[in-house]
Amino acid sequence: MAKHLDLEEQEQLDQLKHFWNTWGALISSVVIVVAGSVAAWNGYQFWQNRQASQAAALFESVDVAVRSGDQARMTQAFGDIRDKYAGTAQAAQAGLAVAKAMVDAGNLDGAKDALSWVGSNARDDGLKAIARLRLAGLLLDQKNFDDALKQLSASAPPEFEAVFADRRGDILMLQDKRTDAISEYTKAYKAMDDKVEYRRLVEIKLGALGVSPQASGVEKISAVQGER
């Protein structure tokens, strides 16, 4: 009985040796790759958390400067966060905060610089869209219509499409391009939910241009009245 068990154990050992000789190198390679991937992921997570923590500290410096109205300090703090942590959400949020403070202080060039950076470098598409929309507004106020339109020509997240179209309509109206303005206002009107109050404002703009937005499209008011 003992000899039978010894032979059986020896056979299992031989099978194990054969299996390891056949697959051992591959198994070792897979284990190394998996272990390396886990280590790399953990390292990346640590780096991300460290970046976010340090960026948050710099954002606090920006916020303090903004609240105190210290333009030199906010410019320096914003420069630090965008140079060192450009890929963080805090950097984009700092840019928007600095731009608002600059506008309030009458420093439009500083505001445009901050918004331009956020619009080009923010990782978050929503923050990027907000920056472009605000920059277009500043350029519009300065009657720089072509550059304002350029800011609104890039693709935007779906939730911003309507307000982008409305702002394009405003710019085109100031350029006396009524047909194009109507087209953009119509896009804005159709893209907005009928429960949004802003949609009523777009409808007023269309009405001022002699256009009545309808569920099936947009018709000239005069044409509708002529049919009655």
User: Torsion angle of alpha carbons 98, 100, 105, 109, nearest 10°?
Assistant: 70
In tens, the pLDDT along 192-208 reads 988 888 899 999 999 99
Q: What is the average pLDDT across 64-90?
A: 87
- Residue 221 token pair: 């008011």
Label residue 176 exposed, middle or buried (CB < 10 Å: 0-12, 13-18, 19+): exposed
Q: Which of 67-76, 167-176, 193-202, 218-227 has the highest mean pLDDT?
A: 167-176
Q: Are 117 and 80 in contact (CB under 8 A)?
A: no
Give the residue carrying structure tokens 């890929």.
87
What mean pLDDT comes out for the span 151-170?
A: 92
Pick the CATH number of 56-144 from 3.30.465.10, 1.25.40.10, 3.40.50.12240, 1.10.3720.10: 1.25.40.10
The answer for residues whose C-beta is within 8 angstroms of residue 54's C-beta and 6 or more apart is: 84, 85
For the ranges 29-43, 105-119, 186-200, the one whose mean pLDDT is highest: 105-119
Domain assignments of the chain as residue spans, ordered by start: 56-144, 157-228
Mean pLDDT rounded to a whole number for the chain: 81
Given a cut of 90, whether residue 102 has pLDDT beyond it is yes
The pLDDT assigned to 179 comes to 94
DSSP state of 177: -
Q: Which CATH number fits domain 157-228: 3.40.50, 1.10.10, 1.25.10, 1.20.58?
A: 1.20.58
**Residues 6 or more apart in contact with residue 163 via CB below 8 angstroms:** 133, 188, 198
Q: How confident is the model at residue 52 (pLDDT cuts 50, 70, 90)?
A: low
Contact of 87 with 55, CB cutoff 8 Å: no
Q: How far apart are CA 224 and CA 228, in angstroms?
A: 7
**Overall pTM > 0.75:** no
If you average pLDDT over residues 83-96, what whole number do you get? 89
Q: At which residue do the structure tokens 């409808």 appear? A: 203
Distance CA 97, CA 74 (A): 10
> Which pLDDT score, from 0 to 100, does residue 95 have?
94
Q: What percent of the chain has pLDDT over 70?
A: 73
